Amino acid sequence: MLRDVPVVSLGRQWRIIQAKLPEDWAHARLGLTPTNPQRLDRAAALLGPLTPGRAGGTLRFEAARGGHGSSPAAVTRALRRLDLERIRGTLELVAADEVAPTAHLRAAPAPEDVPLAESWDALAASLPGDWSDLYAQLDLTSSDHLDPAALALAPVNPLRYGPANGFRFRVARSFGYGASSGMTRRCLARLDERDIAGTLTVLRVLSDSKPVGTQGPVWYVGGKAV
């Protein structure tokens, strides 16, 4: 049984536990014991999407890879909510199961397991140093999330594209059409806070554009300006 120092944030404790898990782990059963027992109910509420159970003063829940249960990213998001409310405690690994040999090809986490704000950071870091405009696509894992996602993404002016469960939007680095990079990340972080998962893709990108007499470049997709 792994036990971390209680003063360490819960998100940090989870990262430490993940680092100690076998490379091919499939399910991890976790126990969270709040330092202040009076905050147990609030902690259970914030962990709601993980469907925690109670065993005395400890909350029990699972993390799973492969689509059967709460993903590691969902656990990260839930624990982040507790950290934001300063709910301290001890997170421990109760047990872990490894995948069967035939499932080793699924050991790598799916793209939607990565929080969207972190996906944005990774995409931004991979862009040319002088990028100026980009056109992005967000594919959601469930159509149930379309309406709440549209509300959270409103500042970036998200647009539906065909029947797909997702949106497309523009980002401008310093001026022109599109939301700023900072606003884009904040909107994606709101989706993470609501446990809305998806895959983020950069469809088109321009570097060092210098518009004259216009607010910025225009792309034509399917005969329509975007």
Q: What is the pLDDT of residues 52-106, one digit of tens each?
A: 888 889 999 988 876 556 888 889 999 999 999 999 999 999 888 765 443 333 3
Full-model pTM: 0.51
In sequence order, what are the beta bridge partners of 54? 59
Mapping DSSP onto H, E and C, the string for 42-69 reads HHHHHCHHHCCEEECCEEEEEEECCCCC
Model confidence over 108-134: pLDDT tens digits? Answer: 444 556 789 998 998 888 888 888 888
CA separation for the pair 122, 140 (Å, rounded): 18
Model confidence over 200-224: pLDDT tens digits? Answer: 888 888 876 665 555 566 666 666 6
Burial code (b: 16+ CB inside 10 Å, e: under 16) for 139-166 equals: bbeeeebbeebeebbeebebeeeeeebb
Mean pLDDT in the chain?
Answer: 82
The yes-or-no verdict on residue 167 having pLDDT over 90 is yes
Query: CA triplet 174, 131, 220: central angle to 5 degrees?
Result: 90
Query: Helices 72-84 & 181-193, crossing angle to 10 degrees?
Result: 100
Query: CA triplet 136, 140, 145: central angle to 5 degrees?
Result: 125
* Among the listed residues 115, 169, 113, 163, the one whose alpha carbon sits nearest the alpha carbon of residue 137: 169
Tokens of 217: 């470049």
The yes-or-no verdict on residue 107 having pLDDT over 70 is no
Domains of the chain: 2-106 (3.30.70), 111-209 (3.30.70)
Exposed, middle or buried, 28 (CB in 10 Å: 0-12/13-18/19+)?
buried
